[in-house]
Structures are given as C-alpha cells and as structure tokens.
Chain A
C-alpha cells in the first residue's frame, strides 16, 4: 500500500479512537451529571432526578448514546451544554479564538526566537553567554507556567500597575485587548522559547560534530553560513514535531495562564466542564483539540519530507 494511503488510514484510525475515548472518558469520571446540574444546596426527590435524566437522554443504554454521538458528529452537531445554555459548537468557537490569541503569538515567538537563540548558543556552546542563557532558560522551562504567571502578574500588574489583573479586555478596543494579553502571552512565550531554544541548542551541538560540517568548513564556507544553510535545517527536525504537539500542550498550558489571568478560553472551559461533568462540552472540546493535533501532525509529516530529502527518497 502506498505510504500516503497508509498515513491516511493511520490518521482515520486515530480519529475513531479519539472519538471513542472522548465518549468513554467523561463517563468513567465519578459523579452524576444530573445531580451536578443542580446547585450545591438544592434537593429534589428521586423521581424528579430521574425525570431530568430522561429529558437529557442520559437514562438510555450507553451503546445508544454512543450511536447518537457518532450521528451528531457526522452532522457537525456537538450537542448542547445545560451548564452554559449554549450549543457546544457555538461555545467552543467563541472560546477557541481567545485561546488562539494567546497561543499563536506564543508559538510564533517561541519558535522564531527559540530557534534563533538555541542555534546560536548551540553553535557557540563554549561561550559564557551561551551557558548563562541556557541556564536562565532552564529555570524558565522548569518553572510551572502558573507560577511564572503569578510572579509576572504580581510584579507588573500589582506592584507596577502596568497591566490589568484580569480578563481579555475592559473596553474592548484593540489597545485594551493588547494590554490585557501582553502578560499571558509573555508567560506562554517564555515557556515555549525556553523549551525550543534548549531543544535546538542540543540538536545543533549534536549536528556540529558531524562530518558534513567539517566538509563545509574545508570548502571555505563561513561559520554563520554553515549554521544557517546546513546545521540549522537538520537541527530543526525535532522542533517541528514539538511545535505540532504544542497545539495540544498549549491548550493545557493555557489553562493555568487563563486561570491566573481570569480569562475565558478553552483551558478554563475544559476545566469547568470537568468540574461539572458537562459531557457534551468535554466531548466537543476534546474532539476539537484532538482534531487540531492530528492536523498539526499531518502538517508536520509533510514539512518533514519537505525539509529532509531522505524522507522523500524513502517513499
């Protein structure tokens, strides 16, 4: 079977598995979604609870619920959240934009600056600046994002008063939104930058010992040209996979940042859905995040073969 079909088959299998898992996992969580619809201090008779369960279709056998879930996915109907009183698709599309507003700049800043600094520090790993920079980034990378967010917020928002303490905006103007997202984007960017630079640094250190680097030097190429034209491309291969996986990780990383900065994004949506056992939201959010990761991995696959000619030859 040609590789391309094998890959399509693999992604389709991954999608089916994801859909099934997103159905099963919320139902394995402890708690009763009907009881969770009621407030902490509400009581109903058992008959009334069962009436609500029937209305929500949660009294039906699991296999029927699973079948209906597939039918809904095929018709792009992700269900309705009784906690948010909105269609799940509307809810997610409202939230995903805000989270992408945090994630995309962070991925770009982290990718561009991380590659740049990592390759420089890897190429000249014996320099003091390289060692000091790597040590500082190691600290950032080891710091949990929520803690880093708390520190930055305490310094720049509370002490210095430069930025607001919460939300995506107050007035909603472009300036206002920018002012609100600078700190959370900085936290995510710092984290991504630190990690990417360390990966690239390690790869460059490994690559620069290869014979093709020696050959390039012997040919008379300048040091910077060797780094940019040859070493960097080879060293960047692991980074592509990392960035592809980032889309999933960043949603969870964004959760902590969203919690600290009181932002309504995908992270907090998932967190609240877990807390309240909101099956439709959990299913919809997991599905969309997984779908994004699958797409990002497919894109990474393509990019790999574009950057690394060996992969094209192997087909």
Chain B
C-alpha cells in the first residue's frame, strides 16, 4: 500500500514537472529586437557607481566624457571637444548640447563637474582626483573646467572610463558606495538600465526616450551573467544569448571551432591591447643581471607558445612589450627563439653550465596560465636550469608578488592596465604604485623619471616620442617579456550586423549599440 502511495507521489511530481515545462514552452515570444549578451563578468551589487563590472556595462547608459574609437584614437563622447591649458593643469570639456537624461532633464556641464568630483570623493579607485583636483567651474553653460594642482596629460584617457551621473539624483545620496538601485537608473545614453536582477542574473537595458542622437535599431539589450564559462558556451550555441563579452578577454579559443560549425555565428577579431607576459624579480640574482635576462629571452619558443596557449590567435611579440594595437606603438626588435645564443649569453653573464645546474628558479604563475608555466619550465630545463612552478589564484598570486617571492612571474595586462599611469604598460612596472595586478618591480631612476616626464608632458608630438622611449627602455632592459600578442575573438549571432569593436572595451561600446541592426528588421 505504502509503495503504491510512494509511486503515486512520484508520478504526480513527474506530471507536475511536465506540465510546468509544457506551459513554459507556450510562452509568447517577444516581438521586440533585443540583443542578449552572455558574460562571465560577475556583478556583485546593483550599484552603477561602485560595482566594477556594472560600472563598465553602465558606459552605455551613463557614457563617460571621452571614448576610444575603432582605431584607438580618443574622441569626445559626452564631451564634444576639449581644451587643455599650456601647463596641462586646466582641462576644459565642452559638453554636447543634445543630451537628455531619461527623466527629460538636460545633461549639463554641472552634471559633469558633479560626477567627476563625486567620483573622486567616494570611489577608492579614483582617489587621484580627490588628491589633485583643486577647483572646478562651469563656464558659458556648457564648459566644464577642471583645475589640477599638477600637470595631468592623460586626463582625456582617464575620462574615457568614469561614468557621468545626474546631479539632481545623486546629490541626495550621501554614500554612493552603499547605494543600491535595482530598478530604473536615470541615464542619458541611447539605452538606460531598466532593471538589475542579480538572482535572475540579468541586467535589462531599454531605449532612452529622450535620446536625441541617431536612433538605435535595437529596442533594448540584456546582459546575462553566467558563473560558468562552459555553460555560457552552451547558451551561445543554443541561441539563449547572441554574443559573448568578457572585459579584456577573448572567447575561449578552444570553443571557436565548435561555434563555427553551427553556421550561426560570425566572429569579430581585434588584436588585444593587453597581453600575457613574464616579468622578473629585478631585485635579486640572477635576474638583476641584464645579460641573464637577455639570455632568458632567447630560450622561449614564442611560436610554440602562441600555438599552444592561444591556438595561433595572435602574433609573436617584440622586445618593446607594447602591442601594435596600442597608440604610439613603435616597431622594436622581434623576440627570437635561439637556444644557442641563449647558452652563449648565459656563459657571458657568468652562468656557465655548472653554475646553471646549481640554480633553482621559482616560477610564480596565475592559475590561468599554467600551460605557459609548464612550457617555460621545459625551456629552462632545456638549458640546464631547474625550476619550480607555483600556480596560484589571483589573491594568493597578488600576495606572493607583492612580497617578491618569485624569480619569474607569469601574468597579464588588461587594455586599461596598458593605458593607466604613464601609459604603455608603465603602471605595471613603476615601483611607486600599488595594485592587485601590478608588479611594481622597476626602481631604475631612468624608468621612474621617464614615467614622470610622460605624466608631465602636454605636447602630443613629445608624448609620442616619450612613448617610443618607454618602448625602447623595455627593449633594452627587458624588465618583462611579452609572451604573445593575442587576438580577441568575439562570436556573435550572424543576424546582427554593425559591430564596432574598440581596443579598450571591445564590442561593448556606445557606437556598437547605436549602429547594431538585426537583418530581418531592416
């Protein structure tokens, strides 16, 4: 009797499940043109001011003053243009006249001034604003003027990342870091955030009714957050999402062929402005010896690394570190695999075969690049050097590299990372800076002085020359070695056309969302 009851219960559960499924299948399809973006970037709180990834996604609803175009040039976004004083201390941004908040109010220069000050006052990542901004003013109604206490040459670049907020909303929020708003967020971009539902793993964007620029073809777009990249790949293949976005990263190369076979995807390919690299502990032997570093650069088989770790999506790098996708790139000598020359240089550095046998190098690697570390270990072994590999998660890696507990470390730079500080990757090496992903390993006065000169230079031509000097410094001193310059490959639903990837944020930029069209909607 009890067995029968149990069976009945199980049957009822199965029937209920089937009926739920059947009803779900009958749900009406939305007729709107919505682009669905799948991302593994985790949004932690419904706060467009403080959440790192939501802040990036909010670039469409609350666009920054500047943007990077497809070719990597900085141009105006919320600002129509900008002016800089000769001493580079006073920056004036002229705000576009046709921008309106989604509640109908006009976007003003006061909003811009407020946003910059507010960000500097409250966002730990933007402390430099609080420390250096002396005075702000609004002139002629549309000119936002910033007075700094020291020359700031790359403000237009910094201002390509900070969102603009409506003063009339945010001025009443005492502590924006603690503010949560999962509903409609007032914005002025072509799309505004309508809903942030972290339990559903979605951020919904809808059209801004007061957008006066080119009318977008999309009715809206959605961000779908996946905690697992494999499942996100399945979602793409199944058609649950139309494209993939992970800040500063490519779609996993190993999964591209599978998507290609479906026939439903096209691929956007851009050379990454960030890169995977290897850096040395310059404070202790043997890497304090520049000849040893030089020798080391010849033991690496760059072609093999590119083939095995990036499946050939990219280019072999040059000694100048900076990839060609970055503004101010200078052609330097290509890094070369030449074990014979390496041995010759090791001997010259005083590390003969016997001495090399006594060495045990510690290779510290972020767990994402284990395969690279294994290959480096093999290359070292081929020249008679023993090495131990420690593969750590980002936290543990950060602690170890901050304590300089390594001889060689393997990590990456992001596009923004390449631009921060004095640019051209200097933020990763300057010993005076701290940060989670940076190495602060170069104390050489020549390098530090070069960074300071870049930071204090206003002249564009001079800046370009200084960029070349930075690359020349890398090429001569090898504080780190780029392992490959990879391509960022983003698959997208073929039905959508008009993608405009930029080197800083890839496909996720305002131009893309304005120009994107769905084929059958034309």
Question: CB of B464 within 8 A of chain A?
Answer: no
Q: Chain B, interface size: which category?
A: 35 or more
Chain A residues closer than 8 Å to B45, beta-carbon distance: 83-86
> Which stretch of B60-68, B220-228, B315-323, B326-334 is in the interface?
B220-228
B 185-205 binary contact with A (CB < 8 Å = 1; else 0): 000000000000011111000
CB within 8 Å for A260 and B228 given contacts A36-B395, A51-B127: yes
Q: Are A170 and B199 in contact (CB under 8 A)?
A: no
CB within 8 Å for A268 and B227 given contacts A41-B420, A43-B438: yes
CB within 8 Å for A161 and B238 given contacts A40-B436, A175-B24, A272-B42: yes
Chain B residues closer than 8 Å to A275, beta-carbon distance: 393-395
Nearest to B403 among chain A residues (CB) is A30
Nearest to B50 among chain A residues (CB) is A85
> Which stretch of A3-11, A15-23, A176-184, A207-215 is in the interface?
A176-184
Q: Which of B419-460 contact A (CB under 8 A)?
A: 420-421, 427, 430, 432-438
CB within 8 Å for A167 and B436 given contacts A82-B177, A179-B21: no
Task: State A166–B36 Cα separation when bound (angstroms).
Answer: 14
Task: State A46–B231 Cα separation when bound (angstroms).
Answer: 40
Q: Are A44 and B420 in contact (CB under 8 A)?
A: no
Nearest to A55 among chain B residues (CB) is B124
CB within 8 Å for A166 and B436 given contacts A30-B396, A116-B6, A150-B230: no
Q: Are B433 and A31 in contact (CB under 8 A)?
A: no
Return the contact of A41 from the options B178, B180, B226, B414 (Cβ within 8 A). B414
Shortest beta-carbon distance, A165 to chain B, in Å? 5
Question: CB of B308 within 8 A of chain A?
Answer: no
Question: CB of B162 within 8 A of chain A?
Answer: no
Chain A residues closer than 8 Å to B85, beta-carbon distance: none
Task: State A158–B235 Cα separation when bound (angstroms).
Answer: 8
Q: Are A32 and B402 in contact (CB under 8 A)?
A: yes
Task: State A44–B234 Cα separation when bound (angstroms).
Answer: 39
Question: CB of A249 within 8 A of chain B?
Answer: no
Task: State A264–B427 Cα separation when bound (angstroms).
Answer: 34
Task: State A228–B371 Cα separation when bound (angstroms).
Answer: 57
Task: State A268–B427 Cα separation when bound (angstroms).
Answer: 32
Return the contact of A166 from the options B42, B131, B224, B432 (Cβ within 8 A). B224
Chain B residues closer than 8 Å to A86, beta-carbon distance: 45, 178, 180
Shortest beta-carbon distance, B436 to chain A, in Å? 5
Question: CB of A288 within 8 A of chain B?
Answer: no
Shortest beta-carbon distance, A38 to chain B, in Å? 6
Q: Are B238 and A262 in contact (CB under 8 A)?
A: no
Question: CB of A48 within 8 A of chain B?
Answer: yes
Chain B residues closer than 8 Å to A80, beta-carbon distance: 178
Question: CB of B165 within 8 A of chain A?
Answer: no
Task: State A212–B125 Cα separation when bound (angstroms).
Answer: 72
Nearest to A146 among chain B residues (CB) is B228
Q: Are A43 and B21 in contact (CB under 8 A)?
A: no
B 259-272 binary contact with A (CB < 8 Å = 1; else 0): 00000000000000
Shortest beta-carbon distance, B131 to chain A, in Å? 8
Question: CB of B398 within 8 A of chain A?
Answer: yes
Shortest beta-carbon distance, B404 to chain A, in Å? 14
A 160-198 binary contact with B (CB < 8 Å = 1; else 0): 011111111110100110110010000000000000000
Q: Are B234 and A158 in contact (CB under 8 A)?
A: yes
Task: State A153–B238 Cα separation when bound (angstroms).
Answer: 12
Chain A residues closer than 8 Å to B86, beta-carbon distance: none
B 225-262 binary contact with A (CB < 8 Å = 1; else 0): 11110110011011010000000100000000000000
Task: State A167–B44 Cα separation when bound (angstroms).
Answer: 15
How many residues of chain A are within 8 Å of chain B by beta carbon?
Answer: 62
Task: State A248–B125 Cα separation when bound (angstroms).
Answer: 37
CB within 8 Å for A32 and B399 given contacts A182-B17, A264-B199: yes
Task: State A150–B20 Cα separation when bound (angstroms).
Answer: 22
Nearest to A39 among chain B residues (CB) is B52
Q: Are B238 and A38 in contact (CB under 8 A)?
A: no
Q: Are A37 and B399 in contact (CB under 8 A)?
A: no
Task: State A85–B46 Cα separation when bound (angstroms).
Answer: 9
Task: State A158–B232 Cα separation when bound (angstroms).
Answer: 11
Chain B residues closer than 8 Å to A48, beta-carbon distance: 124, 127-128, 131, 434
Task: State A308–B392 Cα separation when bound (angstroms).
Answer: 50
Shortest beta-carbon distance, B193 to chain A, in Å? 16
Chain A residues closer than 8 Å to B413, beta-carbon distance: 41
Q: Are A38 and B125 in contact (CB under 8 A)?
A: yes
Chain B residues closer than 8 Å to A52, beta-carbon distance: 124
Task: State A51–B413 Cα separation when bound (angstroms).
Answer: 26
Q: Are B234 and A41 in contact (CB under 8 A)?
A: no
Q: Are B399 and A30 in contact (CB under 8 A)?
A: yes
Question: CB of B140 within 8 A of chain A?
Answer: no
Question: CB of B344 within 8 A of chain A?
Answer: no
Task: State A163–B231 Cα separation when bound (angstroms).
Answer: 13
Q: Are A168 and B200 in contact (CB under 8 A)?
A: yes
Return the contact of B24 from the options A42, A150, A153, A176 (Cβ within 8 A). A176
Return the contact of A85 from the options B124, B178, B225 (Cβ within 8 A). B178
B 22-33 binary contact with A (CB < 8 Å = 1; else 0): 011000000000
Q: Are A165 and B235 in contact (CB under 8 A)?
A: yes
- Candidate in B24, B50, B131 with the most chain A CB atoms within 10 angstroms: B24
Q: Are B124 and A175 in contact (CB under 8 A)?
A: no
Nearest to B413 among chain A residues (CB) is A41
Question: CB of A259 within 8 A of chain B?
Answer: yes
Q: Are B420 and A43 in contact (CB under 8 A)?
A: yes
Chain B residues closer than 8 Å to A263, beta-carbon distance: 227
Task: State A82–B416 Cα separation when bound (angstroms).
Answer: 23
| A-B contacts, 6 listed (Cβ < 8 Å) | A36-B395, A36-B436, A44-B433, A167-B201, A262-B231, A272-B44
Top 4 A-B residue pairs of the complex, sorted by shortest distance between their CB atoms: A41-B417, A31-B395, A30-B399, A43-B433
Q: Which residues of A contact B (CB under 8 A)?
A: 29-32, 35-46, 48-49, 51-52, 80, 82-86, 98, 113, 116, 150, 153-154, 157-158, 161-170, 172, 175-176, 178-179, 182, 258-264, 268, 272, 275-277
Q: Apart from A43-B420, A166-B226, what are 19 other A-B pairs with CB-CB below 8 Å?
A: A31-B399, A32-B402, A40-B414, A40-B417, A40-B437, A42-B420, A43-B430, A43-B438, A45-B433, A46-B434, A84-B45, A85-B180, A164-B240, A166-B235, A167-B200, A175-B20, A178-B20, A262-B201, A263-B227
